[in-house]
Amino acid sequence: MHEFAEARGAMAAMIRSGDLAGLLRQAEGFHGHLCPMLLLGVKAGQYAMKRLDHHHHGMEEVVALVETNNCFTDGIQVVTGCTFGNNALIFKDLGKTAVTIARRDDGAAVRLTVRPDYREQLFARYPAVGPLFEKVVVQRAGTHEDIHRFQHLWAAVARRELEVPLEEQLLVAELTITLPPFARIYDSVICAACGESVMAPKAVTHEGRPTCRACAGQNFALLTGDGIICPGEA
């Protein structure tokens, strides 16, 4: 077996052994900070991957259908290896902190959803965090001291939440689903305006020539913190 086939060997070992702390360290480096939602993504990904017992080499053997674009999803990407780049991450813009992770060969899947009262319970367990979360994250109005204190407390909360039983944080359901086909490979065309290469089905015909949507002044989907939007639409 070529060495590249085991590029995720260390991650697979942590998943099998239940090394959540090790997986969380990997996710923190990817995400940029440590927080409870990142942790829940890690825990959800580890649980599903171990339950499905299927290693992922980035060839769509395992697919993750995420329903939110928040910190939770980065934990899922790191642990499962399902990303936008390897076509194994599907984004359902539902605004739910939930994921369905499935084996492609038989559709066996695990859906994990953060319990609806999780944030309320979290702030009840750590009362010092709630007011800072509101000030720093929601209002974006904290002082440097507020931000510094919040970051340290938020990371400490995430580490403590490692020990909380998964069933107190997440709802789990096992199911069988039908997955979309494998990602298609498309030819590229050259935009007549900017000269850049464009995936053929994403190009449009403008003044009789293949053109990217940006140069043609046409709408295109954009994923932001608010979800999927089309900037040119009211």
The whole-number pLDDT of residue 226 equals 87
Q: Provide the percentage of residues in the chain whose pLDDT is more than 70.
A: 97
Q: What CATH number should be reported for the domain holding residue 146? A: 3.30.1330.130
pLDDT tens, residue by residue, 198-215 = 999 999 999 999 999 999
Which of 140, 155, 176 marks a domain boundary? Answer: 176
Position with higher pLDDT, 198 vs 227: 198
Residue 182 resides in a domain: no
Distance CA 44, CA 75 (A): 8
Position with higher pLDDT, 226 vs 102: 102
Q: Please choose, from the candidates 31, 40, 36, 105, the residue with its C-alpha nearest in 3D space to the C-alpha of residue 66.
A: 40
Q: Provide the percentage of residues in the chain whose pLDDT is more than 90.
A: 84
118/160 same-domain check = yes
DSSP string, 164-203: S-GGGTEEEEEEE-PPPPPPPP--EEE-TTT--EEEGGG-
- Strand pairing report for 98-103 and 62-66: antiparallel
pLDDT tens, residue by residue, 109-148 = 999 999 999 999 999 999 999 999 999 999 999 899 999 9
**Mean pLDDT over each residue of the chain, to the nearest integer:** 93
The identity of residue 49, as a single letter, is M
Residue 181 resides in a domain: no
Q: Is the pLDDT of residue 181 over 60?
A: yes
Strands (E) in 17-165, as ranges, are: 62-66, 89-91, 98-103, 108-114
49/165 same-domain check = yes
pLDDT tens, residue by residue, 5-60 = 577 889 999 999 999 999 999 999 999 999 999 999 999 999 999 999 987 888 88
pTM, to two decimals: 0.90
37/143 same-domain check = yes
Q: Is the pLDDT of residue 64 over 60?
A: yes
The whole-number pLDDT of residue 57 equals 81
Q: How many domains does the chain have?
A: 2
State whether the Cα torsion 79-67-65-184 is positive or negative: negative
Proportion of the chain in helix, strand, coil states, percent, rounded to 5: 40, 20, 40
Range of the domain at 197: 188-229
209/102 same-domain check = no
